[in-house]
Structures are given as structure tokens and as C-alpha cells.
Amino acid sequence: MCETCGCGLPDAAKREAREGADREHDHDHGHPHGDRGIRREEVLLYRNLMESNERTARANREHLLEHRVLAVNLMSGPGAGKTALLEALVQAAGGSLRIGAIEGDLATDRDAVRLRALGIPVHAVTTGSTCHLDAAMVHEALHALPLGELDLLFVENVGNLVCPGLYDLGCHLNGVLLSVTEGDDKVAKYPVAFRNAQFFCITKTDLLPHVAFDAERPRREARLLKGDLRLFACSAREPETVAPLLEYFREARRVLL
């Protein structure tokens, strides 16, 4: 279980928390409730965690709105190419957008160092054993960045296709990346992140001739999960493939801010 979240709680406890089923009782049974063994403390713990996260996420959005900064949460499994894509986006923008980043990882600031080398402001968040960023971590990072000097802020989440999809960070857009080296079956296997995303990008497309990857399968399965999901395909090594995604962010900033 994460040190700071309820990832290890039973699914039934999470479900009851979301449904508001922490029922009050006027007597002590002396045993867990029902065959599922859900303890009321587990339900309350998860509910409190999520409610606190939602409050902080709303505060983050207000803070970003004050500074007219569009924030984009990038989710993926480890090695999908989040940092490489950010490098390509910064280079493609060529200074036409003022870009910053929050880099989340379990340990080390290696990805942050890569992005700082491009001359953009970056704040590294090392989570220890926590398998995702949460709104409180992002809130602290926002105060370490010069938001008044930014147009676009990328939040690179911890490499994980499960928990990051459950936590609102206060970003305006959530996106999922899937590299062609990971296999074309991941959308159906990890649906939560895709359901909570606004865009989906297949990455490392320059490797398509060398791997067994049916690009239409994840696109089709993503549309079944969420019909209005915007779809992109990019290679960090081919700048022209990054341009449509960058334009999507430009337009989102114009519309949302």
C-alpha cells in the first residue's frame, strides 16, 4: 500500500466510500461487516483521502487560472516516453510557448535534469513508495515554480497505469501515453486512466516497423471507453509528428483560459 494513499485498501472499501456507504451504527458488532470483511475505518480512510485530494485539486485549478497557465497531466506506464515527448514538445514550441514541468518519480531527479537542460523551469517530486502524484504534491510544486512566467505546465506523473487515473491533480487536461513497445492490449487492461483522460497518444511510432503492434486496436478500444477522447500518434524523434499535439495544447489554452 502507498504510504500516502489508499491504493492497498480492498476494492469494496473504496466502492463503499465512493457511494457514501459509511453507515452509522449504535452498537458494536465486534467483527467485520458482511462476508467481504470491510471495516468502517477503511471506508472512512479512503473517503477522507479522496475528499481532501478533491479540495486541493480545486485550489490548484484556481491558482493556475489566476496565472492563466494550462496544466496537462501526463500518465503512462514506465518507459512509454513521457520525458522524451516533453523534450520534443519544448523543442517544437521553440519559445513560442513558455513551458514548465513538474516531474514525478519514485526516486532520482534524472528526468527533471533532462528537461532543465532545455532551459525551462522544472520542479522534481520524488514520491518514495507512493505510486502516483496527488493534488497536495502538485500544490507544493506550484509554489516552487514561476507561474507568472509560464503559459503551459506539464505534470509528468509517476510511471503507472493504475492509480494515477484515480487522482485529480487540478490539471485542465489529462492524457495517457502508450508506446508501441508496450503492446496493443493495454487500453482494455488498464481502463481507468483512459476513462479519465481527454487525450491519448501512441508514442515511439518510429519503431512500428520493428514491433508487433496493431495501432488500430488501442484506438478502437479507447473510443469504446470514451467516445470523445482525442487521439494522437507521435515519435519524439520525428518533430513533424509532435506538431498536432502541440497545436491541441495551444487551442486548449485559448478555449479554457
Q: What's residue 173's pLDDT?
A: 98
**Residue predicted with more confidence, 47 or 68:** 68
pTM of the model: 0.85
How do strand 122-126 and strand 152-156 relate by DSSP bridges? unpaired
Q: Please tell me the distance from the alpha carbon of residue 104 to that of residue 118, in angstroms, as a whole number.
A: 18
Q: What is the pLDDT of residue 20?
A: 55
Question: What is the structure's pLDDT at 87?
Answer: 98
Residues with Cβ within 8 Å of 247's Cβ and at least 6 positions away in sequence, in order, are none
Rounded to 5°, the CA angle 147-149-150 comes to 65
Type and span of the H or E element at 23: none
pLDDT digits (tens, 9 = 90+) for 134-190: 999 999 999 999 999 999 999 999 999 999 999 999 999 999 999 999 999 999 999
Over 50: is that where the pLDDT of 21 sits?
no
Q: Domains in the chain, start-ordered, CATH in brackets?
A: 51-256 (3.40.50.300)
What is the C-alpha separation between 248 and 257, in angstroms, rounded?
A: 14
pLDDT of 234 strictly over 70: yes
Say if residues 201 and 249 touch (Cβ distance below 8 Å).
no
Confidence class of residue 257 from pLDDT cuts 50, 70 and 90?
Answer: confident
**DSSP bridge partners of 199:** 175, 230
Phi/psi for 22 (5° steps) reads -85, 80
Mean pLDDT of the 101-120 span:
97
**Distance in angstroms (rounded) separating the CA atoms of residues 132 and 80:** 16
CB atoms within 10 A of CB 19: 10
Q: Average pLDDT of the chain?
A: 89
Q: Are 156 and 74 in contact (CB under 8 A)?
A: yes
Give per-residue pLDDT as tens, 50-59: 899 999 999 9
What 3-state class would DSSP assign to 2? coil
What is the spatial distance between Cα 172 and Cα 251, in angstroms, rounded to a whole number? 13
